Amino acid sequence: MLLNQPRIDLKNDFNIQRLRASLILLINNTISQSGLAGDVCPDPGVPEYGKRMGSSFQIGSSVQFSCDDSYVLQGSKSITCQRVTDTLAAWSDHRPICRTRTCGSNLRGPKGVITSPNYPVQYENNAHCVWVITAMDSGKVIKLSFEEFDLERGYDTLTVGDGGKIGDTRRVLYVLTGSSVPDLIVSLSNQMWLHLQSDDTIGSAGV
């Protein structure tokens, strides 16, 4: 599931505001790149600030792409060489690009607002946004409330964890997906982290 700097307004309780956008469909099996005669696809290249895994360009072969740290992949993670005609082969999708990661931040203070990237339009595919919220008083907890919530069920998720160690599976409080607005979430300590992750196919309204 494109990038604007998240808007942070430190005046209310931390909220996740709905991202309003139209549905985007990425058709992964559309032939989109010119092929070569025979059983070999053209070299798809390597995205700038990224890597490619796989060196076979024969029909039926797939190559995978990833991005360097601080960059996010826009497009398909994997493309496959397909036969178009008896004498023509082509990749199943364009080579993806690596874009600067601009979502997520560290937040400190008594109140604030968090918005999805590109607010108020569609958030990006392959998003990996991390926010860490810290209450300055170590004796306080974080209260997280949601105004609206809509993620592609089962594919796009918002993980909420306690503490400042991002990704610690032992401290995960909730893994949220779908369109039901979550109840108030309260941390166990003075820190909370949020990880918004989207896949590379169908978009949804957002959070």
In tens digits, the chain (207 residues) has pLDDT values of: 443 444 434 343 454 444 433 333 333 333 344 444 578 999 999 999 999 999 999 999 999 999 887 777 778 889 999 999 888 999 999 999 887 766 788 888 888 888 787 766 777 777 778 899 999 898 999 999 998 888 889 889 999 999 988 888 899 999 999 989 999 999 999 999 999 988 876 554 445
CATH architecture of 14-24+102-197: Sandwich (2.60)
Chain center to CA of 141? 27
State residue 92 phi and psi, 5-degree precision: -75, -15
Listed as own residue / partner, the contacts of 56-65 with beta carbons closer than 8 Å and 24 or more positions apart are: 57/81, 59/83, 59/89, 65/95, 65/96
Give the separation between CA 84 and CA 35, rounded to whole angstroms. Answer: 8
Question: Residue ranges of the domains in the chain?
Answer: 14-24+102-197, 36-99
CATH T-level assignment (fold) for domain 36-99:
Complement Module; domain 1 (2.10.70)
